[in-house]
Each structure stands twice: as structure tokens, then as C-alpha cells.
């Protein structure tokens, strides 16, 4: 990837095309034309553009919560006037 290359990237669930303006070790600045904002600069991690993108932090949190819910011990609920039976 070099300055001036055309690259496709994800934006709002759709695929857009932009021109590389700047390159840094982990991020790329892309210039893209949008219907109401021509020449907009968009910053994307290089890993996501090359297809090596890791799962987002939000997805990781959801998976972690789901695992924790499975691990929780459910205790029997006491009803008024009744004793716990074991």
C-alpha cells in the first residue's frame, strides 16, 4: 500500500472506495467522496484494510459476558413461609 493507491473500506455497513493520503505504522488516512461531503478524510487501521482485522472490542465483551452468565451458579429461591429443601 502506497500513497495514491485506491483502497476499498467499510463505512456504515457499505463498501466505499478512497485514495490513500497518509500512511503510519498502524493507521491509514483515506480521502473519500461522500454525497454531502466531498474530500472527507477517513482514518482506518491497516489490519482491517488488509483483512487481518481482529474482532472488535464490543464483540469480545459480548462473548465474555455470555461465558460469565453460563458460569454463574443459580441458587434456589425461597418462597415466603417455606423452608429450603436440600
User: Which residue did the predictor score with more confidence, 82 or 3?
Assistant: 3
Q: Enter the C-alpha cell of residue 72.
A: 454463574
pLDDT at 20 over 70: yes
Q: What is the structure's pLDDT at 13? A: 83
CA 16 – CA 6 distance, rounded (Å): 10
Q: What is the structure's pLDDT at 73? A: 62
Chain centroid to Cα 18, Å, comes to: 20
CA 67 – CA 43 distance, rounded (Å): 33
Render pLDDT for 39-83 as a digit per residue (tens, 0 to 9). 999 999 988 888 775 556 777 888 888 877 766 666 666 666 666
User: Residue 10: which pLDDT band, with cuts at 50, 70 and 90?
Assistant: confident
User: Which residue did the predictor score with more confidence, 84 or 79?
Assistant: 79
CA 31 – CA 37 distance, rounded (Å): 11
Chain centroid to Cα 37, Å, comes to: 24
Amino acid at each position: 500500500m502506497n500513497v495514491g493507491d485506491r483502497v476499498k473500506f467499510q463505512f456504515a455497513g457499505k463498501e466505499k472506495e478512497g485514495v490513500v493520503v497518509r500512511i503510519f505504522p498502524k493507521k491509514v488516512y483515506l480521502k473519500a467522496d461522500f454525497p454531502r461531503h466531498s474530500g472527507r478524510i477517513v482514518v482506518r487501521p491497516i489490519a482491517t484494510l488488509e483483512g487481518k482485522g481482529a474482532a472488535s472490542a464490543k464483540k469480545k465483551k459480548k462473548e465474555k459476558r455470555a461465558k460469565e452468565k453460563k458460569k454463574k451458579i443459580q441458587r434456589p429461591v425461597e418462597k415466603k413461609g417455606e423452608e429450603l429443601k436440600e
